Chains A and B, each alone.
Chain A
Amino acid sequence: MGVQKAICLLIGLGLIFSLRASPVNAADKDKIPKYSVPPAPFSEGIFPCSDCHEDMEPDPTRRELEEHTDIQEMFDHASDQRWCLDCHNANDRDKLRLVNGALISFEESYYLCGQCHGTIFRDWKAGVHGKRTGEWNGKKIYRLCVHCHNPHSPKFKPLTPLPPPVRPTEIENRKLNDDQIPRNPIGDIQ
Chain B
Amino acid sequence: MKSKKDKLTRRNFLKGAAAGTATLALPVGTSDASVWEAFFQKHFRELNKDEVADVIKRLEEEYKEKYKKDVKVKTTDAQPGVLFSYGLDLSRCIGCRRCVYACARENNQSRDPQIHWISVLRFEQGEKFVSNLEEADKYYYPEKVPEDGHFYMPIACQQCENPPCVKVCPTKATWKEPDGIVVVDYNWCIGCRFCMAACPYGARRFNWAAPQIAKEEVNPDTHYLGNRPRYKGVVEKCTFCIQRTRGNPGRYPACVEVCPVGARKFGNLLDPESEIRYCLEHKRVFRLKEELNTAPKFYYFFAT
Do A and B come into direct contact in the complex, CB within 8 Å? Answer: yes
A173 with B209: CB separation less than 8 A: yes
A162 with B100: CB separation less than 8 A: yes
B278 with A161: CB separation less than 8 A: no
B residues at A contact (CB < 8 Å): 5, 87, 89, 94-98, 100-102, 104-105, 111-114, 116, 119, 138-146, 208-210, 212-215, 217, 245, 248-252, 256-262, 265-268, 271, 274-275, 278-279, 282-283, 303
Known: A128-B303, A181-B112. 14 other contacts (CB 8 A): A123-B278, A123-B282, A128-B87, A131-B260, A132-B275, A136-B251, A136-B266, A137-B249, A137-B250, A161-B97, A165-B100, A166-B114, A181-B212, A181-B214
B97 with A131: CB separation less than 8 A: no
Q: Helix, strand, loop or mixed for chain A's interface? A: loop
Q: How far is the CB of B251 from chain A (nearest CB, A)?
A: 6
Contact of B268 among A137, A160, A161, A172 (CB under 8 A): A137
A165 with B119: CB separation less than 8 A: yes
A133 with B252: CB separation less than 8 A: yes
Contact of B262 among A129, A175, A184 (CB under 8 A): A129
B101 with A185: CB separation less than 8 A: yes
- What 1/0 flags go to A120-152 for Cβ under 8 Å of B? 000100111111111111110000000010000
Contact of B145 among A148, A159, A166, A173 (CB under 8 A): A159
* Chain A residues whose C-beta falls within 8 Å of the C-beta of B119 in the assembled complex: 165
B139 with A128: CB separation less than 8 A: no
Contact of A186 among B89, B101, B140, B248 (CB under 8 A): B101
* Chain B residues whose C-beta falls within 8 Å of the C-beta of A173 in the assembled complex: 113, 209
* Chain B residues whose C-beta falls within 8 Å of the C-beta of A128 in the assembled complex: 87, 89, 265, 275, 278-279, 282-283, 303
- What 1/0 flags go to A162-184 for Cβ under 8 Å of B? 11111100011111101101111
B111 with A182: CB separation less than 8 A: yes
A165 with B138: CB separation less than 8 A: yes
Q: How far is the CB of A122 from chain B (nearest CB, A)?
A: 8
Identify which of A133, A139, A179 gathers the most chain B CB atoms within 10 Å of its CB: A133
A99 within 8 A of B: no
Of all chain A residues, the one with the shortest Cβ separation from B214 is A181
Contact of A181 among B89, B111, B266 (CB under 8 A): B111
Identify which of A128, A167, A179 gathers the most chain B CB atoms within 10 Å of its CB: A128
Of all chain A residues, the one with the shortest Cβ separation from B248 is A137
Q: How far is the CB of B274 from chain A (nearest CB, A)?
A: 8
> In the complex, what distance in Å separates the CA atom of A47 from the CA atom of B94?
32
Q: Are A162 and B98 also in contact (CB < 8 A) when A126-B278, A127-B278, A135-B249 are?
A: yes
* Chain B residues whose C-beta falls within 8 Å of the C-beta of A78 in the assembled complex: none
B262 with A132: CB separation less than 8 A: yes
A39 within 8 A of B: no
Q: How far is the CB of B231 from chain A (nearest CB, A)?
A: 15
A190 within 8 A of B: yes
A116 within 8 A of B: no
Instruction: Report the 6 A-B pairs with minimum CB-CB distance, sorted nearest first.
Output: A138-B249, A186-B101, A158-B144, A131-B262, A135-B249, A162-B97
Contact of B102 among A127, A137, A189 (CB under 8 A): A189
**What are 18 pairs between A and B in contact, CB < 8 Å?**
A126-B282, A128-B278, A130-B262, A133-B257, A136-B252, A137-B250, A138-B248, A158-B144, A158-B145, A159-B260, A161-B95, A161-B140, A162-B100, A163-B141, A165-B114, A181-B111, A183-B217, A189-B102
